[in-house]
Amino acid sequence: MYTQEKIAGKVFDRSTNTPLSYVNIGVFSKDLGTVSNGAGDFNLEIENLKDSITFSMIGFKTRKIPVAYFNLKDTIYLDEESIELEEIFISNKKGKSKILGNKKPKLFFASISFKKIEAGNELGIKIKVKKNTDVNKFNLLLVKNDYPNLKLRLNFYNLKDNKPYERINSENIIFETSIEKGVLSIDLTDYNITLKEDFFVSIESLNKLDDENKQIIVAGRVLGKSYGRKTSQGSWTKIKIGFCLSLDVLQY
């Protein structure tokens, strides 16, 4: 039996010695995780002192650190990782605009209510593609949102064993919203996201939301499926509702 221990620290960019905001932090495949705040600070409760904590961030090398390290130090440094960008070709071919994912259903409408959300909580769906696909807009249908300032991150993953595997977007897509209900839409044209094979797209909370008097209700389809994980580095589980999450794309 292991005693529960709370650890705290701060994450820095090693090359610039500046704090890193919104780093995913947690014990891999367990529901023990969090996200560093805007100043790079974090705290986390650990159940097994023999565990290791994984730190990951777009543009930086993933680092895995034993819990025992925090008995000596509370500062974590991440090293930058170069990202090879694919060459962009300008084509004269006319693409076809489409909406991929789950639009609002005319029948068999469903919804899921969330009253407690950990930092790093993610919900998403798998998208199948057979052509080059430029992603231009993200859409999520909210039935209700009681939080005035949601800070969210949009993630794209490749697939392994039909589940989300590695994040493939080359930069963080972070935004804030105060929308109370309706379609939350994010313009993605400036991110130049082009995908050529099946992928997974998710929305991630960067804040812990635990006000008992507030909730978020997301619309969904009864005949569908999604995946979610409770916090950073946690395991993905199947959800038997297809969340109303969609992408406006151009295929060619």
Position 148 pLDDT exceeds 50: yes
Q: Which residue has the higher pLDDT, 2 or 231?
A: 231
Instruction: Find the domain containing 148 and state its range.
Output: 96-251
Q: Is residue 18 part of a domain?
A: yes
9-67 pLDDT, tens per residue?
Answer: 999 999 999 999 999 999 998 989 999 999 999 999 988 888 999 999 999 999 999 99
Position 88 pLDDT exceeds 80: no
CB 251 within 8 A of CB 193: no
Q: 30 and 133 share a domain?
A: no
- Position of tokens 């493939």? 168
The predicted pLDDT at position 101 comes to 95
Q: Is the dihedral of CA 167, 169, 142, 224 positive or negative?
A: negative
Q: 71 and 102 share a domain?
A: no
Q: 124 and 194 share a domain?
A: yes
Q: Is residue 215 part of a domain?
A: yes
The whole-number average pLDDT for the span 137-152 is: 95
Q: 181 and 72 share a domain?
A: no
Q: 13 and 69 share a domain?
A: yes
Paired tokens of 196: 């050529």
For the question of whether the overall pTM of this predicted structure is more than 0.85, the answer is yes
Q: What is the DSSP letter of 60?
A: B
Q: Is residue 50 part of a domain?
A: yes
Q: What is the CATH number of the domain that holds 200?
A: 2.60.120
> What total of structural domains would you count in the chain?
2
196-216 pLDDT, tens per residue?
Answer: 999 999 999 999 999 999 999
Q: Is residue 86 part of a domain?
A: no
Q: Is the dihedral of CA 150, 230, 185, 106 positive or negative?
A: negative
Q: 132 and 205 share a domain?
A: yes
Residue type, 46: I
Q: 103 and 207 share a domain?
A: yes
Q: Is residue 88 part of a domain?
A: no
Q: Which residue has the higher pLDDT, 244 or 72?
A: 244
Q: Is residue 83 part of a domain?
A: no
Position 5 pLDDT exceeds 90: no
Position 83 pLDDT exceeds 70: no
Q: Is residue 147 part of a domain?
A: yes
CB 219 within 8 A of CB 109: yes
Residue type, 85: L
Q: 31 and 122 share a domain?
A: no
The whole-number average pLDDT for the span 58-81 is: 92
Q: 63 and 109 share a domain?
A: no
The predicted pLDDT at position 70 comes to 87
Q: In the predicted model, what is the mean pLDDT of the chain?
A: 91
Q: 44 and 145 share a domain?
A: no
Share of residues in the chain with pLDDT > 90 (%): 78
